[in-house]
C-alpha cells in the first residue's frame, strides 16, 4: 500500500509525494500511471497538507447504508448529487457554517479516487479504474436539505466538501471501515461491506452516465445518524489505511 499526499512547502510551492514514516518522497505529477520519485524527500512536519488530489468532478451517493435509511426503503435508482469544486476543503482546514443554515451534521464517508478515464465501464473495468481511497466529510446543513427541492446549498456550501489526508492505494474495496468522532467521542462507524450498492457497482453506474477522469471523487454514503455539530467542535474521520481527516468547525 502507498499513501499519496499533496502538500505546500514553506516557500509556497506545491507538490505530491508518498508518505512513509513521517517523510514524504516527492513524485512527479501526474501520479495516475504510477509514482515516479524525483529523489527529493521532505519531512511531513515541515509542510502543510492539502487535499490529496484536484478532482474535476465530485459525485456523491446518498442513502447508501441501511443504518442511515432507518427503515426506509433503499432508493431505486440510487440518489446521486454533485458537490461544486468551490466546496473543497482539506486536512486541518476550518469548516465554516454559513449564516442562517441551521443544524449542520458531519457525514463520514469512504471516498473513491478514480485513476483512469472511465465511460460505460463494466464492473471489472470499474474496479480496475479505482486508484485508491480517501476519507471524506459530506458536511450537510439539514434544515436547508429538508427545505429545498434539491441539495445544492445543503451540501455544496464552501468548505462542505472535505477530503484527505492521504490517498491509500491497493486497498481491497471490501475491507474499508469508516469511523467519525466529534470531540473525541465516536458518533459513526460503518464498513464497505455494509454499503447497499458496493464500490465497483457505484463506479460502474456513474460511468454509464458521465465520463470519469483521473482524480475524480465519488463519496459512497454515510452510516448511521450523526449528531449536529457547532462552532468549536473537532471532527475526525478515519478510513482504513488512509489516516485521520481532522477539521474544526468555525
What's the pLDDT score for residue 245? 99
The predicted-structure confidence for 53-97, as pLDDT tens digits, reads as follows 999 999 999 999 999 988 899 999 999 999 999 999 999 999 999
Q: For residue 104, which of 233, 245, 242, 214 has the smallest C-alpha distance?
A: 233
Lookup result for grid cell 471501515: 177
223 alpha carbon, distance to own chain's centre:
14
What's the pLDDT score for residue 71? 85
Give CA–CA dist 113/126, Å, rounded: 11
Domains of the chain: 3-49 (2.30.30), 58-249 (3.90.850.10)
**Least confident interval from 11-15, 23-27, 71-75, 235-239:** 71-75
Give the count of beta carbons closer than 10 Å to the beta carbon of residue 75.
Answer: 15
Q: What is the share, in percent, of the chain residues with pLDDT greater than 90?
A: 98
What's the pLDDT score for residue 70? 85
The predicted-structure confidence for 99-153, as pLDDT tens digits, reads as follows 999 999 999 999 999 999 999 999 999 999 999 999 999 999 999 999 998 999 9
Mean pLDDT of the 9-35 span:
98
What's the pLDDT score for residue 189? 98
Give CA–CA dist 159/164, Å, rounded: 13
pLDDT band at 218 (very low <50, low <70, confident <90, very high): very high
What's the pLDDT score for residue 131? 99
Mean pLDDT of the 210-225 span:
98
Helices of type H across the chain = 66-69, 123-128, 142-147, 152-156, 199-207
Mean pLDDT of the 162-181 span:
98
Mean pLDDT of the chain: 98
Are the beta carbons of 220 and 112 closer than 8 angstroms?
yes
Q: What is the share, in percent, of the chain residues with pLDDT greater than 70?
A: 100
Amino acid at each position: 500500500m502507498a499513501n499519496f499526499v499533496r502538500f505546500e512547502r514553506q516557500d509556497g510551492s506545491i507538490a505530491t509525494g508518498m508518505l512513509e514514516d513521517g517523510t514524504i518522497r516527492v513524485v512527479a505529477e501526474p501520479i495516475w500511471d504510477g509514482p515516479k520519485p524525483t529523489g527529493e524527500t521532505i519531512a511531513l512536519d515541515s509542510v502543510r497538507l492539502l487535499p490529496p488530489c484536484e478532482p474535476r468532478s465530485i459525485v456523491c451517493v446518498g442513502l447508501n447504508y441501511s443504518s442511515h435509511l432507518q427503515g426506509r426503503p433503499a432508493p431505486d435508482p440510487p440518489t446521486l448529487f454533485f458537490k461544486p469544486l468551490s466546496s473543497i476543503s482539506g486536512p486541518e482546514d476550518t469548516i465554516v457554517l454559513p449564516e442562517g443554515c441551521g443544524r449542520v451534521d458531519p457525514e463520514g464517508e469512504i471516498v473513491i479516487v478514480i485513476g483512469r478515464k472511465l465511460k460505460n465501464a463494466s464492473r471489472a473495468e470499474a474496479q480496475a479504474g479505482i486508484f485508491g481511497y480517501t476519507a471524506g466529510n459530506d458536511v450537510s446543513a439539514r434544515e436547508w436539505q429538508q427545505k429545498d427541492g434539491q441539495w445544492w446549498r445543503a451540501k455544496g456550501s464552501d468548505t462542505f466538501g472535505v477530503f484527505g489526508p492521504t490517498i491509500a492505494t491497493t486497498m481491497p474495496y471490501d475491507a474499508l471501515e469508516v469511523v467519525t468522532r466529534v470531540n473525541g467521542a465516536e458518533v459513526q462507524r460503518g464498513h464497505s461491506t455494509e454499503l447497499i450498492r458496493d464500490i465497483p457497482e457505484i463506479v460502474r453506474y456513474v460511468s454509464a452516465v458521465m465520463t470519469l477522469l483521473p482524480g475524480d471523487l465519488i463519496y459512497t454514503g454515510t452510516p448511521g445518524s450523526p449528531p449536529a455539530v457547532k462552532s468549536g467542535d473537532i471532527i475526525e474521520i478515519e478510513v482504513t489505511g488512509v489516516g485521520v481527516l481532522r477539521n474544526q468547525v468555525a
